[in-house]
Amino acid sequence: MAQLFRLDLLAPALLAVQSRLRHGFVVLALTLAALAGAALTPAVAGPVIVADIDSGRVLYAKQATDPWYPASVTKLMTAYLTLHALRAGQLRPDAPLTVSARAAAVIPSKMGFKPGVEVTVDNALKMMLVKSANDMAVVLAEGVGGSVENFAGMMNQAAEELGMGQSHFVNPNGLPDPGNRTSARDLAVLARTMLRQFPEYAQYFNIEALQMGKRVYKNTNGLVGRYPGVTGMKTGFICASGFNVVATAQRGGRRLLVVVLGAHSGVERTLIAASLFDRGFADSGWGGPGTLDTLPLPTSASPPDMRDAICGAGRGARGEEEAENAPQSASPLFALFKGGASDWETPVAGRTLPPRAALAAVPVFVGRYPGAPATAVAARRGQAQKGETASAYAADEDASPGAKALQKVKRPVARKNASASKQAEARQKPGKAEAGKKANDKKAHDKKAPAKNAAGKNRKTSDNDG
């Protein structure tokens, strides 16, 4: 009885402990769920838009006309103008472009080629869109527009013609500049226009990986190789903008595009885009706020600066290169808190993506063709004069008559200048006896010169005839 009495006295205490444990677990679970909800809904991202590519109908939009820093999605406009130049015959896919000192000096992400290296238009486009190479964007801008400044003017003219009212571009790669801006709606207009105007070039936007020698560069778009039906297009990141993506996908007979701006990580960017695609393909396509042309005016006049939230203290080093090529594996929180929410505002709850499938790498190279010298002739031989570019001498390696003529003109000039330099150096040496000896030698040489020159002239004529 004594033992039973003691257990009876302990029972209320045990029940109280159990209750507290249960309460603590519930509080912990609710706290984690709240944190997960705050971290995983599109509210943490900035503007988003989902649109039908063929009809232009907007299925969902949030702050889609508000200005935003574009980051590397700027390269879609660079690609747009390059494709125009290809179609117009101003450039050929195999045309060589030379990496300038300006292109080589840009910050990563980039290929890192030295000035004077030649890259074809086709390879530069692939490197820019897959690797997000900032240097290749400059190479294309200089190849199409002559200079970065001229090309920026072309970008802004194109934006105006396309009705991209919130867009302005200062450079071809989206590297930080307060003059760069765009909106989710404008990017959707640009993406839709490119796919409809240039269907023959659509493959540029869905390359899974590039291979140069033994090195493989995976597409910075985390949907590629993960989301069924994805067809492109481009990611972007700078601290001020957060993580951006313009993405396209096809399912059955429908083609959709999604724009996500201002996500807090590459993972979040990818999962929000995937969830918006899920919701878009499940939608009948007849709802939404209208078309790309009828969205409401922006609610702010200038882009927000997300630097502190994205790259502030305690968030680790987040440079442009690291961000563009960060692993895209899903966060465990996405797998833990699964839900069936179908509301556009919370499409990410419970969304996960599988690991990337094996990516098919497309070979790329430097030079005019595989195995060709990578460096322009002037850069290799050191012949470029002040104010000239290496591309001015690129024809030296051609077998054309013009190239051979260029070789005959340029090289003798270099030798003549070298000879003159040696003579000037010799004249500067002191010594009266030596000077007198040179004067006597010159007189003797002048007497023999006519016969020698005539013999040389006859020899040259004979060689050309033979």
* Vertex 80: Cα angle to 95 and 111 (nearest 5): 60
State how far the alpha carbon of 147 is from the alpha carbons of 52, 89, 171, 172, 204, in Å: 36, 19, 10, 10, 24
In-domain check, residue 380: no
Pairing, β 361-363 against β 57-62: unpaired
At residue 440, the pLDDT reads: 53
What is the residue whose two structure tokens read 């957060």?
242
Q: Provide the β-strand partners of residue 235.
A: 245
Residue 150: which CATH number? 3.40.710.10
Counted domains in the chain: 1
Structure token digits, residue 192: 């839709």
In-domain check, residue 199: yes
In-domain check, residue 103: yes
Beta-carbon contacts of 110 under 8 Å, excluding residues fewer than 6 positions away, are: 133, 134, 135, 136, 321
DSSP 8-state assignment for residue 200 = G
In-domain check, residue 35: no
State how far the alpha carbon of 322 is from the alpha carbons of 8, 68, 240, in Å: 63, 21, 15
Residues belonging to the active site: 72, 75, 132
Structure token digits, residue 442: 């010159």
Pairing, β 209-212 against β 361-363: parallel
Contact 127, 366 (CB under 8 A): no
In-domain check, residue 242: yes
Residue type, 205: F
Task: Give pLDDT tens digits along the chain (466 positions).
Answer: 444 444 454 555 545 545 554 555 444 444 444 444 333 334 446 999 999 999 999 999 999 999 999 999 999 999 999 999 999 999 999 999 999 999 999 999 999 999 999 999 999 999 999 999 999 999 999 999 999 999 999 999 999 999 999 999 999 999 999 999 999 999 999 999 999 999 999 999 999 999 999 999 999 999 998 999 999 999 999 999 999 999 999 998 899 999 999 999 998 999 999 999 999 999 876 667 889 999 988 888 899 999 999 998 666 545 544 555 554 444 433 333 333 334 555 556 567 788 888 889 999 999 999 999 999 864 444 443 333 333 322 322 333 332 333 233 333 333 334 444 444 444 444 444 454 544 555 555 454 444 444 444 433 333 333 3
Provide the phi-psi class of 224: left if phi over 0, else alpha when psi is between -120 and 50, else beta. Answer: beta
DSSP 8-state assignment for residue 250 = E
Query: DSSP letters along 275-315, please?
Result: HHHHHHHHS-SS-SSEETTSPPPPS-SS----HHHHHSTTS
In-domain check, residue 419: no
Measure the N-to-C terminal CA separation of the chain; round to a whole number of Å.
130
Q: Provide the β-strand partners of residue 51.
A: 58, 257
In-domain check, residue 406: no
Q: How far apart are CA 111 and CA 127, in angstroms?
A: 8
In-domain check, residue 342: yes
Enclosing domain of residue 146: 42-363
State how far the alpha carbon of 40 is from the alpha carbons of 224, 265, 364, in Å: 21, 11, 37
